[in-house]
Amino acid sequence: RVSKEVYRIVLDSLKKSDYKSRVRYCLASQVYRKKSNGNLYIILFDNPQLIQHLYLNKKFFLTLWHLSVRGQRESLIKMDIPPIFNTIENCYNQIGIYFTTPFGEKIFSYLKHNPYISVHRVNNEVKINEYGYMLERQYDIVLFLDLLESKRVFNMKTKKEYICLFWKNILSENNINYLQDVFLQIVPQLVKKQVKVIFVKPVNLRLNTYINEAVEESNVRDNGTKFLSIKERCRFNSKLIGDEKLGVAVVNTKTDMSKGYFRRFHVGDSYNFTNGFRVVNNVKDTASNNIYFFGSCISCSAWTRDQDTLCNQVAKKISNHYNVHSRTNNIENMNLIMRECSFKKNDIVVLFFDSSYKHYNLNNVYFFDLNKSLQSVPDLGKHMLDGMWEHLDKEAYKVLSKHIVDFLYEKNLISQKIIDENIAESDSFSLAHFGKRPMSVQMYEDNNFKKWLYKISILRKEGINGAIVMNCNPMTLGHMYLIEQAKTKVDNLYIFIVEEDSSEIPFLDRIDIVKNNLKNMENVFVLPSGKYVLSAVTLQGYFTKKDFHGMSIDASEDLELFLTIAQFMNITYRFVGSEPRDKFTRLYNEAMKEKLPQYGVEVIEIDRLQINYNYVSASDVRQYIAEKDWNAIQKIVPAYTYYYLMSFYQ
């Protein structure tokens, strides 16, 4: 759906193009097309802000690449407010914005309502010279929410370059000048706080004959596989490494760029991501510090099972006083990921860069030579996938992990003295500012979610509000005890009953039982959870947790949705019961304790009720039902629950 003027300009551009095959490829994969009478009709995503800024009488302002918005980014501009702005407001304090459109006005208004940041419109102070754009004030980041050409941005007085994001870049690649942020702001702050930083020098194929020949060998063997669809690539690579199940897992992995950086989501037997990043299973309770891997996909280890990734193999070899974390899927915008992490003194940060890496003069950092490590891998070409040195198999990662661990000990980055110091040091810090804001409801595409929120908003109350999420299959005296304890700490308490019908007792009966048991309690409101709080969609594995044997869960989607709900319903406390038996629920509680307080929601864990030194549990009730032990049931459930169970089962 485009105007005749735009259509004519695009068609003329195609006719004059010297690279028609490339244009056809972009159009085939990134915009819709249909052929009629031998002509190619192009249908662009119809966005008023784009059309408004096409300079039809003078020139075609955007390139075909910019208008050929990728499928996953089309959804980005369908939202009222793209989620990348939530990431930015949680990472930077001083934000400058240039805009002339209603869209820019909307983003400006949204950011201005954040009490933790300072936001300024920079239209009147922008000057243009031969170097780029010049600004008067100092900002942490500058957003150009207009279709201005991407240029470098400097401070007029200090000549310091700003970190900036152009809206055109959001449409095409979401690419902030992240290296500027990493080298000039993030790394100096980490070093100042005594975090050890290691730069992994990238591979230089022109100077390294052995690795270059391995790449060529892989290219010849793969015969252009990297240009095929992801499904075809996975089928080929899984046969190559002899692991077809892994190939299926890679195909079924979901990806997302909406927050400004690349995230992956998958839960399975041996291929797992938590909060969008690869799981490291070797978690140590004794660990007082962390080792973070950031950067290119070599440290994500996409073509290996969990136990064989680079990070997992490093974790196996490292001291019990360090936990290893993978924080990489792609190198772009790694600065945003780094700003969202928490660090401590003597933590270790390992930064992988691709061939675009440039050497900066930085003090108190270490350099690891990846070239030497890869050179020590026998028959490297056989262990390389897609003709890319960043894509390796588990055998290559074994060699690389050994070199990294040897490097850590050789440089005395890990020693008994440091370990003793780490145990005494407990304070952590983040590069993001205090007071993160959850994603706004305006940042979600799902209209049903919005309708559900507005439906329950009639119960939104002023004052101190808390929430409990319960399955109640069935409701026990343990549930009643948790509610009674939580009620004493807040003015209003919301009880979300899990709506997913995957339990023995149907949802409508479960919520009816809860309402009847609580009918005499004031300021306690019982609500259905919808598909948005603790459902099979938001937290995979919750309803099959009896088969759970893993070391971690991915609760990121569930908790992000809950934070949006909490913001909307003015909820500042979430109450949970302690979990001595169920490992899955215990990990879920731990994930809540880690994430929710960062956004102003305090998690309070209340010790589970015991009767005769036995924990009260709904699973025990279900067992007693199977055994028809009604006397045991009556001792651990409220009156209405007992009445219902007697009626239902007898």
pLDDT at 15: 57
Cross-strand partners of 469 = 496
Residue 16 has pLDDT above 80, yes or no: no
pLDDT at 285: 62
End-to-end CA distance of the chain: 63
What is the Cβ-side half-sphere exposure of residue 635, based on CA atoms within 13 angstroms?
13
**Residue pair 187/353 in contact by the 8 Å Cβ criterion:** no
User: What is d(CA 354, CA 324) in angstroms, rounded to the nearest whole number?
Assistant: 22
Strand ranges for 107-231 from DSSP E: 118-121, 127-129, 132-135, 141-144, 153-155, 164-166, 196-201
Average pLDDT over residues 78-104: 84
**Nearest by Cα to 218 from 231, 205, 230:** 205
DSSP state of 486: H
pLDDT at 361: 62
pLDDT at 169: 63
Residue 26 has pLDDT above 80, yes or no: no
Count CB neighbours of 610 within 10 A: 12
User: What is d(CA 622, CA 504) in angstroms, rounded to the nearest whole number?
Assistant: 9
Tell the residue number behind the tokens 């589970």, with chain if given: 608
| Number of residues that this document lists for the chain | 650
**Residue pair 33/27 in contact by the 8 Å Cβ criterion:** yes
User: What is d(CA 96, CA 381) in angstroms, rounded to the nearest whole number?
Assistant: 48
User: What is d(CA 406, CA 376) in angstroms, rounded to the nearest whole number?
Assistant: 14
pLDDT at 37: 38
Helices H, strands E: what count in the chain? Answer: 26, 29
Residue 432 has pLDDT above 70, yes or no: yes
Span 211-263, pLDDT tens digits: 888 888 888 887 766 667 777 778 888 888 888 888 888 888 888 877 778 88
Count CB neighbours of 317 within 10 A: 16
**Residue pair 605/481 in contact by the 8 Å Cβ criterion:** no
Picking from 28-37, 129-138, 231-240, 439-448, which range would have the lowest pLDDT averaged per residue?
28-37
Strand ranges for 116-230 from DSSP E: 118-121, 127-129, 132-135, 141-144, 153-155, 164-166, 196-201
**Nearest by Cα to 261 from 324, 355, 340, 357:** 340
What confidence category does residue 424 fall into, taking pLDDT thresholds of 50, 70 and 90?
Answer: low
What confidence category does residue 404 fall into, taking pLDDT thresholds of 50, 70 and 90?
Answer: very high
**Which residue did the predictor score with more confidence, 361 or 580?**
580
- Amino acid letter, residue 283: V
Q: What are phi and psi of 479, to 5 degrees?
A: -65, -45
Helix (H, G, I), strand (E, B) or coil at 591: helix
The whole-model pTM stands at: 0.74
Average pLDDT over residues 414-420: 74
Radius of gyration of the chain (CA): 27
> Alpha carbon of 322 to those of 46, 65, 365: distances in Å?
51, 44, 19
What confidence category does residue 362 fall into, taking pLDDT thresholds of 50, 70 and 90?
Answer: low
**Nearest by Cα to 575 from 455, 478, 450:** 478
**Nearest by Cα to 560 from 532, 540, 529, 522:** 532
Both tokens assigned to 275: 């909060």
Count CB neighbours of 446 within 10 A: 12
Residue 103 has pLDDT above 90, yes or no: no
User: What is d(CA 270, CA 118) in angstroms, rounded to the nearest whole number?
Assistant: 44
User: What is d(CA 194, CA 400) in angstroms, rounded to the nearest whole number?
Assistant: 26
pLDDT at 321: 79
User: What is d(CA 410, CA 404) in angstroms, rounded to the nearest whole number?
Assistant: 10
What is the 3-state composition of the chain as percent helix, strand, coil, each rounded to the nearest 5?
45, 20, 40
DSSP state of 161: B
Both tokens assigned to 204: 């230089």
Average pLDDT over residues 460-465: 92
Alpha helices in 242-300 (DSSP H): 244-251
**Which residue did the predictor score with more confidence, 102 or 637?**
637
Both tokens assigned to 28: 């085939």
Residue 78 has pLDDT above 50, yes or no: no
Average pLDDT over residues 283-310: 84
Q: What's the angle, vertex CA 353, arms to CA 349 and CA 358, rounded to 5?
A: 110
Count CB neighbours of 526 within 10 A: 22
User: What is d(CA 542, CA 560) in angstroms, rounded to the nearest whole number?
Assistant: 17
Cross-strand partners of 165 = 143
What confidence category does residue 76 fall into, taking pLDDT thresholds of 50, 70 and 90?
Answer: very low
Tell the residue number behind the tokens 């979401």, with chain if given: 174
Contacts of 11 (CB under 8 A, 6+ apart): 40, 42
Mean pLDDT of all residues belonging to the chain:
79
What confidence category does residue 552 fall into, taking pLDDT thresholds of 50, 70 and 90?
Answer: low
**Residue pair 237/383 in contact by the 8 Å Cβ criterion:** no
Both tokens assigned to 12: 């003329």
Average pLDDT over residues 355-361: 52
Residue 79 has pLDDT above 70, yes or no: no
Span 296-309, pLDDT tens digits: 788 888 889 999 99
pLDDT at 581: 75
What confidence category does residue 59 fall into, taking pLDDT thresholds of 50, 70 and 90?
Answer: very low
Tell the residue number behind the tokens 């067992």, with chain if given: 623
Span 155-211, pLDDT tens digits: 888 888 888 888 766 655 545 677 788 888 888 899 988 899 998 887 877 778 898
**Residue pair 389/226 in contact by the 8 Å Cβ criterion:** no
Span 107-162, pLDDT tens digits: 999 999 998 899 999 988 888 877 788 898 999 999 988 766 677 888 888 888 88
What confidence category does residue 18 fall into, taking pLDDT thresholds of 50, 70 and 90?
Answer: very low
**Which residue did the predictor score with more confidence, 228 or 46?**
228
User: What is d(CA 352, CA 296) in angstroms, rounded to the nearest whole number?
Assistant: 6
- Amino acid letter, residue 631: N
Span 483-536, pLDDT tens digits: 999 999 999 999 999 888 777 888 899 999 999 999 889 999 999 888 888 766
Both tokens assigned to 73: 């980014």
User: What is d(CA 357, CA 588) in angstroms, rounded to the nearest whole number?
Assistant: 38
